[in-house]
Amino acid sequence: MSIQRLDHFTLRTPAVAATVAFYQHVIGLAPGPRPAFRFPGAWLYAGSQPVLHIAEVGDKQDQLEAYLGSRDAGSGSGCLDHVSLRGSELAATQQHLLALGQPFRERVVPEINEHQLFLQDPNGVTIELIFPCSPDDRIVGEPMPQLEIAP
């Protein structure tokens, strides 16, 4: 068996509207079709691929638990440290985040040719956006310390 790519990730949240708005307007995913599950939620797409499944948690979630099992909703990433999405057009993304007033941290990792942006969704989940780095790139968000890579 070999893993080819990330298929999707699922967030359980009581803040469906805020979560959809963040991933749509800040990250650039688009709402799309979702199966007629017996619990509320949304699916967001990158092109034709549904990459984010959102499930609403609340007082009446017996259908959600019947489908996905029981879990504490909580906030933040829990055991999940972050979700990483590969992007293009770094400068346009930086300007987009600045125009939205969306805080983000960033660093360049030249050893792996990556420029990384880190931000948080409305649920406290850390999102990493990865871009190929170029000598022309600039850090415009909050700079992060450079990592020391072991030899």
Contact 11, 68 (CB under 8 A): no
Phi-psi region for residue 97, left (φ > 0), alpha (ψ -120 to 50) or beta?
alpha
- Taking residue 102's Cβ as centre, other Cβ atoms within 10 Å add up to 16
Quote the number of domains for the chain: 2
- 3-state secondary structure at position 13: strand
Looking at the fold, whether 62 and 111 belong to one and the same domain comes out as: no
Q: What are the pLDDT digits (tens) for 15-55?
A: 999 999 999 999 999 999 998 888 899 999 999 999 999 98
128 domain residue, yes or no: yes
pTM of the model: 0.77
- Does 93 reside within a domain? yes
Task: List the domain range (segments joined by +) for residue 44.
Answer: 9-68
Strand spans (E) along the chain: 9-13, 30-32, 41-46, 49-56, 83-86, 105-109, 114-120, 126-132, 142-143
The answer on 63 and 92 residing in a single domain is no
CATH code: domain of residue 42: 3.10.180.10
Looking at the fold, whether 133 and 104 belong to one and the same domain comes out as yes
By DSSP bridging, strand 126-132 and strand 83-86 are parallel
pLDDT in tens, 59-117: 777 887 776 777 665 555 566 768 989 888 999 999 999 999 999 999 888 878 889 89
